[in-house]
Amino acid sequence: MQKKWLLGVILGISLIIFGIIGVLYNPISKDNLSLNPNTVETPNLSENQQSGPSNNSGNIIRALPIPKLQEDIDPDPNRSEFNLVAQEGSSNFIDGKTTPTLGYNGNYLGPVLKVKKGNEVTINVENKLSDDTSVHWHGLEVEGANDGGPHQVIHPEEIWKPSFPIQQEAATLWFHPHVIGTTATQVYYGLAGLIIVEDDNSLSLNLPNEYGANDIPLVLQDRRFDDDGSFVYNDNMMEGAFGDKMMVNGAITPYLDVDQRKMRFRILNGANARNFNLQLSDSSQYYQIGTDGGLLEAPVTLNTLFLSPGERAEIVVDFSRYSKGEEIELRNKNTLIMTFRIGDELVDNTVIPDVLNEIKWFDESVASTIKTIELDGMGHMVTINGRQFDMHRIDDKVNLGDVQIWEISTIPGMMTSNGHPFHIHGTQFQILSRDGGEIPDNEKGWKDTVFIGGTETVRIIVPFNYKGAFMYHCHILEHEEAGMMGQLEVY
């Protein structure tokens, strides 16, 4: 009798606690992505600082920065060698204010490493930071020792020199730090860059592929600023660190002048935690041509593209349907990300081919194992299969060459999050189903990161063709850091 009474009290208290968590958790739901007008800065500008039109938030609108292509210092056409220096710097995002930042070979973000399938690549990664770092090649199929995960720490003043062949097809990949405890902040302060892989197929398609002209990378991030211009990194939220300003390639809501032709955009969701639902302001359609790990078999027509942290998509927008002087916005639902300012008519010889790629689909029967992955919790209380990450524990042993089916789900309950972008290192997989049903056409391609919704079960089929230790984790970087990560070893 007494026990029952005590249970009732405990249940009551728990309900109150969960209620409070629920209230805290709601305002940052996936749908609530609009800018809060109260936190927007209105800088005082001198006459000559008013160089561009200002938007309603009071920021100077800048031209979209285009990351530079990193010079290949190996003259051999079959080899590439790049120098990458992780360094401290400062940036000017808000007029008249200086933001301490981190970058590769510069103040913020990094250059693009362009490589070709079949090439042998060497990268000299130098750590000029005052902290440990590592550089992980997200989406790259390499052996564990070259992966740049938490095992390949680069101490300050050290150089790490991985060397590996590019054995995968054309895709847009990226790189970022992956050390235990500082991944999320190092990325937030600016450490991230893109890798473009080309192959004979991608080069033969006559898609827009003139880098910086009609082939443009878009690194999407959200950031929060203090009054003095410095970044505010706030990870006290249930779903990770969010910002109230949209940035593309390191500029707040920039513009890009585009001629009336087809433009290819290689889009990375480089945010720590925010999902994007990408739309054009006229709700018009565009084509997705690529997923994380390669080109789709055929272009997919879309007017909303969902991208969770870590995911990439290549899209083509045909600006020939607009006329000179028009402005088209790229938005995250209703929030401005950037503006396309339409320029002149242009002869455009590029095409969006009906057939982009040939993908060898795995048959489920080749899978040796069916594995269950349960993602649970939110905030700092997150687990995979009930456990938090332990660097000294191998969670799964996998035979080299194995193909496995992973059934990944978010555990429903009072501590359920809005979902988790689930990523596996060193491989590209295929999505089999979502909640037992069909997947959208734009997910029928090679993936290394897949969003698992709040109550969803997603089945994927994944090959393990490279030896070594690899991480798998939620790509909300605050969840990863809080332990929503596991480790597998291929041997």
Q: Which residues of the chain form contacts with ligand C2O (CB under 6 A)?
A: 136, 138, 176, 178, 310, 423, 425, 471, 473, 475
What residue ranges in 250-326 does DSSP mark as E strands? 251-252, 255-260, 262-269, 276-280, 286-291, 294-302, 305-307, 312-318
Residue 176 binds which entry of ligand C2O, Cu ion, none, with Cβ cut-offs from 5 to 8 Å by kind? ligand C2O
- Least CB distance to ligand C2O at residue 11 (A): 39
> Closer CB to ligand C2O, residue 259 or residue 448?
448
- Least CB distance to Cu ion at residue 403 (A): 19
> Closer CB to ligand C2O, residue 339 or residue 383?
383
Residue 178 binds which entry of ligand C2O, Cu ion, none, with Cβ cut-offs from 5 to 8 Å by kind? ligand C2O
Residue 476 binds which entry of ligand C2O, Cu ion, none, with Cβ cut-offs from 5 to 8 Å by kind? Cu ion
> Closer CB to ligand C2O, residue 270 or residue 445?
270
> Closer CB to ligand C2O, residue 138 or residue 223?
138
Check if the beta carbon of residue 168 is closer than 8 Å to that of residue 119. no
Site membership for Cu ion, residue 115 (CB under 5 A): no
Site membership for Cu ion, residue 444 (CB under 5 A): no
* Touching Cu ion, residues 413-432 (CB under 5 A): 420, 425
- Least CB distance to ligand C2O at residue 18 (A): 31
Of 27, 64, 62, 33, nearest to 336 by C-alpha is: 33
Residue 473 binds which entry of Cu ion, ligand C2O, none, with Cβ cut-offs from 5 to 8 Å by kind? ligand C2O
- Quick note: the x/- pattern for Cu ion over 455-474, rule CB under 5 A, is -------------------x
Q: In what order do the strands lie in the sheet with 312-318?
A: 251-252, 245-248, 215-223, 262-269, 312-318, 286-291, 294-302
Site membership for Cu ion, residue 476 (CB under 5 A): yes
When binding is defined by CB under 5 A, the residue of 309, 313, 479, 483 that contacts Cu ion is 479
- Least CB distance to ligand C2O at residue 396 (A): 15
Site membership for Cu ion, residue 238 (CB under 5 A): no
Check if the beta carbon of residue 251 is closer than 8 Å to that of residue 64. yes
Residues facing 193 on adjacent strands: 175
Count of alpha carbons within 13 Å of 29, Cβ hemisphere only? 9
Of 207, 169, 196, nearest to 352 by C-alpha is: 207
Report in angstroms the alpha-carbon separations of 64 from 61, 218, 224, 321, 441. 9, 9, 19, 22, 30
- Least CB distance to Cu ion at residue 381 (A): 11
Residues facing 173 on adjacent strands: 195
Rounded-to-integer distance, Cα 85 and Cα 403, Å: 36
Residue 262 binds which entry of ligand C2O, Cu ion, none, with Cβ cut-offs from 5 to 8 Å by kind? none
SS3 at position 485? strand
Q: What is the four-CA torsion angle of 194, 195, 199, 202, rounded to 10 degrees?
A: -10
Rounded-to-integer distance, Cα 308 and Cα 177, Å: 18
> Closer CB to ligand C2O, residue 103 or residue 310?
310
CB atoms near residue 51 (< 10 Å)? 12
- Least CB distance to ligand C2O at residue 437 (A): 28
> Closer CB to ligand C2O, residue 174 or residue 340?
174
Site membership for Cu ion, residue 176 (CB under 5 A): no
> Closer CB to ligand C2O, residue 192 or residue 258?
192
- Amino acid at residue number 202: S
> What does the binding site for Cu ion look like in residue numbers (CB under 5 A)?
138, 420, 425, 474, 476, 479
